[in-house]
Amino acid sequence: MVFADLFFLYFFLPVCLIFYFMTRNLHIRNAVLIAFSLIFYAWGEPIWVSILIISAAVDYINGRVIDKYRGKPQARMAVVWSLIVNLGILVGFKYTGFIMENVNSLLGTSFNVPNIKLPIGISFYTFQTISYTIDCYWGKVKTQKNFFRFLLYVSLFPQLVAGPIVRYSTIGEEINDRKTTMQDVSEGMSRIILGIGKKVLIANALSKVVTTCFGEMSDGFAAVSNISVAGAWFGAAMVGLWYYFDFSGYSDIAIGLGRIFGFHFDENFKYPFICKSISEFWQRWHISLSSFFRDYLLYLPLFGKRRKYGGLFLVWFCTGLWHGASWNFILWGLYYGLFILMELKIGKKRMKKWSPVFSHIYTKVVIAIGFGIFYFEDLGALGRFFKALVGANGNSLTDSVTTTIFRNYLYVILLAVIFSMPVIPKLKELCMKQKSRAVFIQAAGVVCNVAILLVSSIMLVNTTNNPFLYFRF
């Protein structure tokens, strides 16, 4: 089941809310959320809900063991067992085929390459349970002694299948005690509608722009072979905007849904394209993932001691690999690692002296190339893309196809560029100063929300499958 679906918006969610708010009893409310979360997950893949429950059970037990044997070898073994089970599940489903392909390629063997279907959300909920176990071991969170409350944390449907990666420290207390105010409901609904609008009105249109420029992401060889220099740069920029509005739209919906149920998730995106450095970009983009690797992997002792640069490249290797079992994702991660290293060497003080114009050009060029690397899973197509960026494959400076696409989708591109910047927060800030017109401003906000929801719903009428991009990760 997906959020950008009429069945979810007009049946599943209303029914869930009715059952949830029928009672004030927190135990019953938690039970309602668990039931609807498991139904939500099992809707398309009923068999794989068992993996989620197993993962939750394993780390619930690990947490109890850590609490009972704190400071003893059994507690450390619980952390090791958590890593073995969760990473074993993740590697088994996500990377087995990739490993066998590379073994066959390197050794000339002919082992069977399994085609294993990836359970939705496995990259997110396994990281959540790992973070819980480690935080229990470090004493950062109290051990949850009720399995069903812990299962609620793992399975909570707003963030289950595509994040953000919500840590137990963020919502642990709210699982045990929370309240929902009318302000929570109002702001939550507005956030949900904003996310739906991002996905349906902007991201879906941008996906058509990208596939017209580059072809499908798994190949794209033929399309990128004939594209112009301008077309290559334009397409890469559109990939970035497409991924931003698709993934940040999902995060907005997740945060809004959580707010309605009394949970306060951390922000996952903070207008990343206004950054003036690549380090700042990653402080604003997919924050829950980058902070996870920073907190749990960056300072990991390598070969007996903490190694600053070794830890840095381990983080970026894993960041790339987390996104998919393909060499382009690993290259993408290491690509960003190189720029983070370069900026560390230059230093923040020196970079602050750069011209703002230069800083923005530098970051946007690096980011655009990065999204090109991310898009092309076929390395042959990726090589063609690199050549197209500088005209090295004999392509022209411009082409009629790119010009036509730009003209046909100009309104979407302008909306995407405008709303990738903090326009909405600035408008809210301006409106807060106009206290004399508060009623008019509130009414205008309601009208905008209704209009976005109505137009999005109309566009979803003939859509049978509208998944978010990060479902595949």
Q: 3-class secondary structure for the chain?
A: CCCCCHHHHHHHHHHHHHHHHCCCCHHHHHHHHHHHHHHHHHCCCHHHHHHHHHHHHHHHHHHHHHHHCCCCHHHHHHHHHHHHHHHHHHHHHHCHHHHHHHHHHHHCCCCCCCCCCCCCCHHHHHHHHHHHHHHHHHCCCCCCCCHHHHHHHHHCHHHCCCCCCCCHHHHHHHHHCCCCCHHHHHHHHHHHHHHHHHHHHHHHHHHHHHHHHHCCCCCCHHHHHCCCHHHHHHHHHHHHHHHHHHHHHHHHHHHHHHHHCCCCCCCCCCCHHHCCCHHHHHHHCCHHHHHHHHHHCCCCEECCEECHHHHHHHHHHHHHHHHCCCHHHHHHHHHHHHHHHHHHHHCHHHHHCCCHHHHHHHHHHHHHHHHHHHHCCCHHHHHHHHHHHHCCCCCCCCCHHHHHHHHHCHHHHHHHHHHCCCHHHHHHHHHHHCHHHHHHHHHHHHHHHHHHHHHHHHHHCCCCCCCCHHHHC
Provide φ and ψ at 305, rounded to 5°: -150, 160
The residue among 80, 91, 258 whose CA lies nearest residue 163 is 258
Catalytic residue (one of 27, 264, 323, 360): 323
Told to judge if 264 belongs to the known catalytic residues of this protein, a careful annotator would answer no
Residues classed as catalytic:
323
